[in-house]
Structure 1
């Protein structure tokens, strides 16, 4: 980004990491000291993880981790509840909030490329108790995500009118995921690599197919155009309830994108790659996908989203293309994406609980590992959250997924708010100690005065809209709890740890700003300059079109 201040304070490792909790992916023995810093406590063969994920695997997982079940199924729920106009506007608003949030996170991760996710910045610049509560919130997010993904699998398989009971299908998938994660970290890495690759290719093929279907190459041989934006109450359906539904759904869909910015601590050139990658993922994978869905699928489509079923718009559009075989193939791909999301959440949640146990913030038993370095007790504990998916037999898979989606979505919003708060205090500490923001290794200048407050205000405003939808015109206790259950839990964890540890809010005037800063050498700085100069040369002239396409794909 041309307006961003760049001092090339980057790592030259070339690796990147993709789970929601990237720090836990290959962080072997980190834990918190009394002052909130990290240190090694349990150093024996029964409490060690294995650093055996390859750069190829973690790079693909980083991108794939930003694409979850919410995009494949949540867009159908959004369209049915609010219409195409509301869906694209809400996803755009949420996408902009996420974009600013990740720029702020990238700024901190570039300055302090520590082995830690955004929770480490909350601990460092806000309060140890705040970081503790935030880390547990993220474990809760992953545990519920596993249940949500297993429930989503029931909805996806419902496309084939399967006679298999939903609970049996979820149990079968759970055993598969537990087995894949329990064998060896390499098994998880290879499985997630290929599942993430399939997701990315699927979205590209879907966008191309959707554009073709809209022009008239479809089962009805009719040009669709903007017809679905004018039927019934479209493009804006459901009033404020529709808006609130989409905000929660989009929050779940965008959940995991913070992994793209967390990799700034392990990426060769985050000052350039973070903004580019985030823009690409948000614009292509989310907004363009929503636009294609809104054009081709009417919000009144039968069984698009209700209490018992939810049909993926991806499958619908391939069916519209005139091939039931292609629709089934797409539904199969979506099922693999659901497996990927569940696999991703199970792995991340396991490592978060392991990290909490290593730092004495959870029972020490969860730090126990198998001979292959797998924290199997933490794995079982995280997988136990999937028991929630068995409630689908009583309330319907669609309704249960709606509630679980609310829990995950609001948890993601809480994470974004915490990033905004940590960034606000980090910048404040930087200036209070006599430094200029221009001296940061990377600083997006255009967010200087309003970035962190905007993220905090935006999340609180979205909560206000969601709250209104839960209490008006009728108060729904289950809907309300699904939206805000984790907020009082977060406060209880925060207050309890604060009383237990007697921690104090970080003094911004004395916090150590020099620790963990990366100092680039001249060779790295010259290499980055040369690479950027070569890129700019390639983008000149008519040949630049081909290079631009190459960079987008690569």
Structure 2
């Protein structure tokens, strides 16, 4: 069976829904189409689903909570401690606010593409499809490494959290948690979704309690029975600690904290009725950022001094959340908060392990495989178990804490993951820019988009690309001025040359083999808005780069079409609306609010 190309000419007639649903059989899945049948710059595309492949087992309820679980974790509970210690309360509030704005716009751009094309690989696949296959290759491997390192970071964070109670053999704790996370992810995707749902629910309730308690502590309900107000904003060194270098450094910890939001698109390939669930989840991001981050940051900056003993150093990092509960005068409450932080660490590790596994699976299932095809094998439950084991194996990094120090290692991992998150956001901006350009150039109506963030047109992608690029350049200021720190500099910028080398490597080694001279003679058809391009010009263009031509990229392939499963979801939604209009609508509203 011939696999249709991604970047080939647009078909004169829409594909039949059945063709999109079925895709190639499992026997020839991963096999490349004859390259002679493809136009210049074209790549075939794998199906969204296949027999014994990924399953659409995540409900809207679970995906909504996964959106929260991916961001409320070690970055908020522990990362805010290092942010406060290195930048002060004002720097922390400003940096988290700016990054929050960037993330919100980025998620709206991703939501447009993920709703239209809910495929495995998400923004990695979009960068390959709409921007550059070479860049998409480097991005995918970079993000896989990001997720794998995030698992190690979370296991290291678990050691830091447990130091509140004991310092007994931290590597044993990491090993036990590692076995637990791998076991959960080795079962059906519904097990992952259900665990995330309940852990996220616990975190949401805890953050709300923290905000209420933090206000009370600030007004006088503390061990000293004194009104705190803005006292800690005026102590020596505050509110901007470390000058501009301290301010810039907070950007990377803020990016680490907000990391995970972009992986919402990765769940699109396993989400029921993504055309309706993805817009709901994306729209919820604004309130999540405002309530769970900005308010928490304000409370922390008011109640915890930047020079609090043990807040952040080489050997340990103390959660500001635990400190605020201590200030309330309850050791039991502080232990409870620490327990919640520990569960959030597990949740964040669970989420990172899931996302990294799916990214590696996506790499192995590309038509021109970007990873060994063995990682495309799945169990009957739809779990790419070999990709899972490869992703989890990187977590061995966390066992190095015995030699480096948990606090120091976690700080380095935090920098690496934070920069990787920024590269992901930058890539979403690039993919969205090219996607929107292709949509307009090929004459398709904006009304055809299943979800459109109208107020971000046309400036959204440019804003994300420029602002994130500025963050990446600025945030390493403290590693150069006033004194150069080689280790810190590497943790801030090592991702950039790696991305460049991997992109060039794919372009030089793989790309020429996908564009034989025979295909260069095939002229591309005219689109709705552009004329034909001479084949000689095409040969010169594709010889030096593989930037996708927005005039010919196939915008029909992989578009979502409702099936029986999605129609059942619609009927369930109609039943929900009927219950909300019935005689017991108040009870039903309360029930749905809780769920």
TM-score of the superposed pair, with normalisation by structure 2: 0.78
Q: Residue by residue, what CA displacement relative to the aligned partner does 1:180-199 show, whole Å, maximum 9, x if unpaired?
A: 33355444333323222211
Aligned residues: 512
Q: CA separation in 1, counterparts of 2:181 and 2:209?
A: 27
Q: CA separation in 1, counterparts of 2:303 and 2:494?
A: 36
1:101 aligns with 2:106: yes
Q: Residue by residue, what CA displacement relative to the aligned partner does 1:164-223 show, whole Å, maximum 9, x if unpaired?
A: 122222222212222333355444333323222211211111111111111111221111
Q: CA separation in 1, counterparts of 2:593 and 2:374?
A: 46
Aligned to 1:542: none
Aligned to 1:448: 457
Describe the SS at the equivalent of 2:225: coil
1:336 aligns with 2:343: yes
Q: Is the 8 A contact 1:406 1:483 kept in 2?
A: yes
Aligned to 2:395: 386
1:81 aligns with 2:86: yes
Q: Residue by residue, what CA displacement relative to the aligned partner does 1:36-69 show, whole Å, maximum 9, x if unpaired?
A: 4432699886xx4555555543442233223221
Aligned to 2:554: 512
Q: CA separation in 1, counterparts of 2:309 and 2:562?
A: 57
Q: Is the 8 A contact 2:326 2:333 kept in 1?
A: yes
Aligned to 2:196: 192
The one of 165, 170, 179 equivalent to 2:169 is: 165
Describe the SS at the equivalent of 2:549: coil
Q: 1:33–1:459: structure 2 CA closer, same or farther, 3 Å change rule? A: farther
Q: Is the 8 A contact 2:115 2:275 kept in 1?
A: no
Aligned to 1:201: 205
In structure 1, list runs of 5 or more residues that go unmatched: 1-26, 539-545
Q: 1:432–1:354: structure 2 CA closer, same or farther, 3 Å change rule? A: closer
Instruction: Kindly report which structure 2 residues correspond to 1:424-443, keeping only aligned pairs within 5 A, or say none.
Output: 424-435=433-444, 440-443=449-452
Q: 1:32–1:460: structure 2 CA closer, same or farther, 3 Å change rule? A: farther
Q: CA separation in 2, counterparts of 1:85 and 1:58?
A: 33
Aligned to 2:16: none
Q: Residue by residue, what CA displacement relative to the aligned partner does 1:371-423 show, whole Å, maximum 9, x if unpaired?
A: 65543332222112111112212221111001000110000000000011111
**Worse overlay, 410-419 or 109-118:** 109-118
Instruction: Kindly report which structure 2 residues correspond to 1:242-321, keeping only aligned pairs within 5 A, or say none.
Output: 242-260=246-264, 266-267=273-274, 269=276, 273-274=280-281, 276-321=283-328
1:180 aligns with 2:184: yes
Aligned to 1:462: 471
The one of 391, 402, 413 equivalent to 2:422 is: 413
In structure 2, list runs of 5 or more residues that go unmatched: 1-25, 34-41, 515-545, 582-586
Aligned to 2:140: 135
Q: Is the 8 A contact 2:275 2:560 kept in 1?
A: no
Instruction: Give the RMSD, CA atoms, in angstroms.
Output: 3.5
**Shift in Å, 1:515:** 3.5
Q: Residue by residue, what CA displacement relative to the aligned partner does 1:242-271 show, whole Å, maximum 9, x if unpaired?
A: 122210011011111124567788445469
**Shift in Å, 1:110:** 3.4
1:222 aligns with 2:212: no
1:324 aligns with 2:331: yes
Q: CA separation in 1, counterparts of 2:431 and 2:418?
A: 20
Q: 1:96–1:40: structure 2 CA closer, same or farther, 3 Å change rule? A: closer
**Shift in Å, 1:426:** 1.6
